[in-house]
Amino acid sequence: MRTLDDLVAEGVRGRTVLVRSDLNVPLDGEKITDDGRIRASVPTIQTLRDAGARVVVMAHLGRPKPDQDNAKFSLAPVAARLGELVGTTVSLAEHGDGVAVAGLADGDVLLLENIRFDPRETSKDAGERDAFATELAALAGENGAFVSDGFGVVHREQASVYDIAQKLPAYAGGLVLSEVEVLRTLTGSPERPYAVVLGGSKVSDKLAVIEALLPTVDTLLVGGGMCFTFLAAQGLGVGSSLLEQDQVDTCRKLLESGKIVLPADVVVADAFAADANTKTVPVQEIEDGWLGLDIGPVAVSEFAEKIGAAKTIFWNGPMGVFEMAPFASGTRGVAQAIADGDAFSVVGGGDSAAAVRALGIAEDGFSHISTGGGASLEFLEGATLPGVAVLEGDA
């Protein structure tokens, strides 16, 4: 695939370059609570600025719906933070504001308002997406280009990700390129032992990646809400913990691999609340009316031992409800064990990346922190990512 370096080598001074970034950050009102994805987008934008391009950034925030008040999904706070990071004013413009684009000088940056405000962006109708992509491409003019740098959306066949890459000369941004290279290391010949740590709420959300990884990994450590369905598959009672009854038989079969390690103890509570009554119990002793909200200290120790022996680690999904202080120790312990080791370690985006920053774990302790949880998982499943395939000419 053609890369950002190729585009810069061709020359971009005076050209308008559309960049698809992933700026889908969590907000508390208008306050950004985790700017990791914005920071990850800066190097590509800055490279284009330094080369004299007129940069028009496309991004989404949340899931706005037609005919509703979507003010809370405005990218205005993102534009302000992006401007701080790149050291210039980043204006916010509507999608069809050709006047704003035409007014850009070399090195300027413009952010288009939430691209999903136009329902054609995510339409299942290829014709609708194509029409929207044509309008977006027109903003770049005859000598324009497109840079795909939003790894968190490359698994989506959407207008600003997939269709537009067929309208303009298309290039992989530095972020997308590095993400793909790292994940190909995991799916190629990773150094062994290879350990995968999976958490999160539901087995059903991770089933495809578990089935894809089990033949290739040496150890699969399972925590988070999903561990209770596995524990139920072992015949244990899980009280009021999250349980996907329809996945119990599947989990029982997966356990036959002998590679899955489950927590030995869990932190349980009598309510899903930060001020609930809590206690730590062996997994064989979860009482009715209590629900597991984190893995316990014995589990953290056992998981850390497996992590310490690994040479390659992939982690996706928290070990508990880390947003609540009483249930953050499991995620913190596992994350710190990964960060303290010398293995090639990849954090698979999403809540895992957010947890690293929220819990104050040094980011340089990990080899790579992905910006795309869903995209990372689909890549490891072996699925075709439309936004990558179109850059490789395989669409």
Active site annotation includes 333: no
* Alpha-carbon distances of 91 from 105, 124, 146, 183, rounded to whole Å: 13, 30, 19, 34
Residue 5, marked binder:
no
What one-character DSSP code corresponds to residue 303?
H
| Residue 206 is labelled as binding a ligand | yes
Sheet holding 278-282, edge to edge: 278-282, 265-269, 291-295
Determine phi and psi for 377, rounding to 5 degrees. -65, -45
CB 357 within 8 A of CB 36: yes
Sign of CA dihedral 44, 151, 158, 164: positive
Q: Would the annotation count 23 as a binding residue?
A: yes
Q: Which of 152, 350, 372, 387 is catalytic?
A: 350
Annotated catalytic residue, options 2, 39, 81, 202: 202
Q: Among 15, 20, 36, 37, which one carries the catalytic annotation?
A: 37
Phi-psi region of 67 (alpha: psi -120 to 50; beta: other; left: phi over 0): left
* Distance separating alpha carbons of residues 337 and 331, to the nearest angstrom: 10
Structure tokens at 275: 């001020």
Binding site annotation covers 277?
no
According to the annotation, is 157 in a ligand binding site? no
- Is 323 assigned to a binding site? yes
Residue pair 225/322 in contact (Cβ under 8 Å)? The answer is: no
For residues 298 and 389, give the distance between their C-alpha atoms in angstroms, rounded to a whole number.
Answer: 44
Query: Is 279 among the catalytic positions?
Result: no
Helices 350-358, 329-340: axis angle to 10 degrees equals: 90
Q: Which of 83, 98, 237, 374 is catalytic?
A: 374
Is 107 annotated as ligand-binding? no
Let me know the angle formed at the C-alpha of 296 by 292 and 300, rounded to the nearest 5 degrees: 135
3-state helix, strand and coil shares in percent for the chain, rounded to the nearest 5: 45, 15, 40
Q: Is 61 part of any known ligand binding site?
A: yes
Residue 264 per-residue DSSP state: S
368 annotated as belonging to a binding site for a ligand: no
CA–CA separation, 187 and 194 (whole Å): 11
Instruction: Check whether 41 is labelled as a binding-site residue.
Output: no
Decide if 374 is catalytic.
yes
Query: Any binding-site annotation on 60?
Result: yes
Q: Is 22 annotated as a binding residue?
A: yes
Residue written as tokens 């950034």? 57
Asked if 350 is an active-site residue, the reply is yes
Planar angle of CA 334, 207, 344, nearest 5 degrees: 40
DSSP string, 174-217: HHHHHHHHHHHHHHS---SSEEEEE-SS-HHHHHHHHHHHTTT-
Over the range 12-49, which residues count as b (16 or more CB within 10 Å of their CB) and which as e?
beebbbbbbbbbbbebeeeebebbbbbebbbbbbbbbb
Residue 372 is assigned to a ligand binding site: no
Just list the catalytic residues: 37, 202, 350, 374
As annotated, the binding site for substrate includes 22-24, 37, 60-63, 116, 156
As annotated, the binding site for ATP includes 206, 292, 323, 349-352
As annotated, the binding site includes 22-24, 37, 60-63, 116, 156, 206, 292, 323, 349-352
